[in-house]
Structure 1
Amino acid sequence: MKLGIVGSGMIVQEFLPSLVQLEGLEIVGIQGTKKSIGKVEEICVKYSIPKFTDDFNKLCEFGIDAVYIAVPNFLHFEYCKKVLEKGLNVIVEKPMTTNYRQAKELSDLAKEKKLFLFEAITTLYFENYKKIKDWIEKIGDVKLVQSQYSQYSSRYDAFKRGEILPVFDPEKAGGALMDLGLYNLHYVLGLFGKPENVKYYANIERNIDTSGVLMIEYKNFNAMCVCAKDSEGERIGIIQGSKGKIVSEEAPGLVGKVTLKMYDGTTESFDDGFSKDRVVPEFKTFISAVNENDLEFCYKQLEKSLLVSEVQTKARLEAGIKFPQD
């Protein structure tokens, strides 16, 4: 798969050391802004990436067949749509879009053009997470679920001083739910499907949620999802059942070592070891799907992203958090 990248921020710089080593992937070029083009050139030299530009149309002429979009949330829809309209495949950082309406439009466009559209959400692709799915039936009737992801943001101090960076900017679709909360949503909805109801209890500062608790209601159990960018807390997942429980030792974006603890005293643990190299499992999957033209798998994953977008949009709007794109 020949890949172009839009963006040169923290996530791109974190992932590139692993991406350039992946078999079946060739990173052809990176597009930055006019302001960041010097940094983009440095990145390309460092990782032997042959081309760079500040022009999106030029990036698409580099002989690529897919684009990885890693720009602020509010730009995801615009770039995804432009890439699909050019007949190229898309891998977009989570959240796929700002709201469900945008996500549905992109999904319809990708299917119409028979193109790939993947949301880059690490959770779903860890073998640890898949092991949780295998174990669910063993713990009997599910009673309670917890998914917690709190991480004091390096940008929160600036926010408190009055400097509004994209991650805390409602104009740019920021906030805790749209960032860490997306991992919680994928963790829970990926295991249990569409809920009966959802409600977000948000801590709101200057019209944006800096933290909150998302309650997800199913017919016979509830899930509590904690996300915070203004404080630190546990990063863990727990699924409690009538016969046992499953514990994830890391935040849902990493999953980490998972342990099945039965009430009869038996235990079983599993760890795929990818928590510290989280981009590898998802991109290996994307590369394989594109190279094998497995659109059926892609659209199955896309339905999961649409469900998360639908639930996120409902919870956010009902909590009074509105974006210009809504």
Structure 2
Amino acid sequence: MIRFGVIGTNWITDSFIEAALKTGKYQLVAVYSRQIEKAEEFASKYGICLCFDNLEEMAASDELDAVYIASPNSLHGPQAKLFIEEGKHVIGEKPLASNIAEVDALIAMAQEKGVVLFEAMKTTYTPNFVQIRQALPKLGKLRKVYFSYCQLSSRYAKYLNGENPNTFNPAFSNGSLMDIGIYPLSAAIGLFGEPNSFTAQGVLLDSGVDAHGTLVLHYSQFDVVISHSKVSDGLIPSELQGELGTMLVDFISECKSVTLHRSGEPALELTCPQEDNAMYYEAAEFARLVETNQIVHSGLARTQIVSSIITQAREVVGVRFPADEEMRV
């Protein structure tokens, strides 16, 4: 049983706790919040009493084996570093850190300390993502891939009203590519590996983060076009086009359904049953890695490629974070 604590008391933390407990591999033992009252209120829902408003004390506690980090993006890297230094396993919400320099440093430290470091990228662990990978040969020679994830942020109205919500504030390492585009990009890297090259485009808000944009990953025989947005809603499915047919994927971040359309054949439904809470699968995989002591795993390579592409793409688009400057010092 993995004794774990959580950093963050928002809805995504609740979702992960629900998923983790359902695997039967976890015991929730601790909650952190900057305000101890908030930590205690959150913890009361789960009947636990170990609450912290000091991260150093939490990281040093002998009562937990691992931590789930769901704080603002800019804090993921520094907080992961703190817990790794204390010999704790870390599952960090995507993105794992603000840039590739932070990611590389965390991976090196985790391997030195002998702990599991894992990015909570639910997409690539879902059963239907496995279906996509297994069905790729049925498409014949792959020619075009279009992945779309566009979701109007619930905080955009606040931004337009002159407020400065975290989700559109570069101080918190946010923006469309970091928050939204990372899902289809991770899916593409999970399926096809590192591209030969890529191009990037984005539209900036006055705050300095990208509102929406496009990535094109260039492979030897095909391209992957990735559309992402935090200022508009997208309703179209993603698709993979081959010489023998096309595969449609609904909601690429969770791969809710997968359908194969081959020339001259009836449509073939490839969708398999999935948990409603797709975080179940990332929680199960993290537990497996911890139980088998797999410090080096395939998820780390994917995270490094994705982080490297996003870091370079932000340079092209013009998105700069304070965390980037801190790593150059």
TM-score range, shorter chain: over 0.9
Equivalent position of 1:41 in the other structure: 40
Normalising by structure 2, we get a TM-score of 0.93
- Give, in whole Å, the separation in 2 of the partners of 1:62 and 1:158: 41
- 2:237 counterpart residue number: 236
Which AA in structure 1 matches 2:308?
E
Q: Residue 219 of structure 1 corresponds to which residue in structure 2?
A: 220
- In the alignment, the residues of structure 1 paired with residue 122 and residue 272 of structure 2 have an alpha-carbon distance, to the nearest angstrom, of 13
Residue deviations 1:152-192 (CA, integer Å, cap 9, x gap): 11100011112111111112111000001000111111111
Which residue of structure 2 lines up, in the alignment, with residue 280 of structure 1?
280
What is the deviation of 1:62? 4.8
| Overall identity of the aligned pairs, in % | 30
Corresponding residue of 1:310: 308
Paired with 1:20 and 1:59, the residues of 2 have a C-alpha distance of 21
Preserved contact between residue 39 and residue 51 of structure 2 (Cα < 8 Å): yes
Give the partner amino acid of 1:84.
I
Map residues 44-55 of structure 1 onto 2, 5 A cutoff.
44-55=43-54
- Shift of the alpha carbon at 1:235? 5.1
Tell me which stretches of 4 or more aligned residues in structure 1 moved more than 4 Å: none
Letter of the 1:128 counterpart: N
Q: Which residue of 2 aligns with 1:149?
A: 149
Alignment check: 8 A CA contact 1:5 1:29 kept: yes
In 1: Cα distance, 2:210 partner to 2:132 partner: 30
Amino acid at match of 2:318: G
Structure 1 residue 276: deviation in Å?
A: 2.7
- Deviation of residue 58 (structure 1)? 2.5
Match status 1:265 vs 2:293:
no
User: Aligned pair 1:322/2:323, yes or no?
Assistant: no
Aligned-CA RMSD value: 1.5
For this pair of structures, how many residues does the alignment match? 321
Shift of 1:304: 0.7
Alpha-carbon distance between aligned partners in 2 of 1:169 and 1:100, rounded to the nearest angstrom: 20
Deviates further, 65-74 or 273-282: 273-282
For the residue of structure 2 that corresponds to 1:87, the secondary structure is coil
Supply the distance in 1 between the matched residues of 2:178 and 2:164 (Cα, whole angstroms): 16
CA positional deviation for 1:208: 1.1
Separation in 2, partners of 1:265, 1:105: 50
Q: Under a length normalisation based on structure 1, what TM-score does the superposition of the two structures give?
A: 0.94
- Displacement of 1:70 in angstroms is 0.7
Q: Distance in 2 between matches of 1:41 and 1:172?
A: 25
**Contact residue 13 and residue 70 of structure 2 kept, 8 A:** yes
Which string of whole-angstrom CA distances, capped at 9 and with x for unpartnered residues, describes residues 121-158 of structure 1? 00110010011111111111111111111111110001
Residue 177 of structure 1 pairs with residue 177 of structure 2: yes
Match of 2:28 in 1: 27
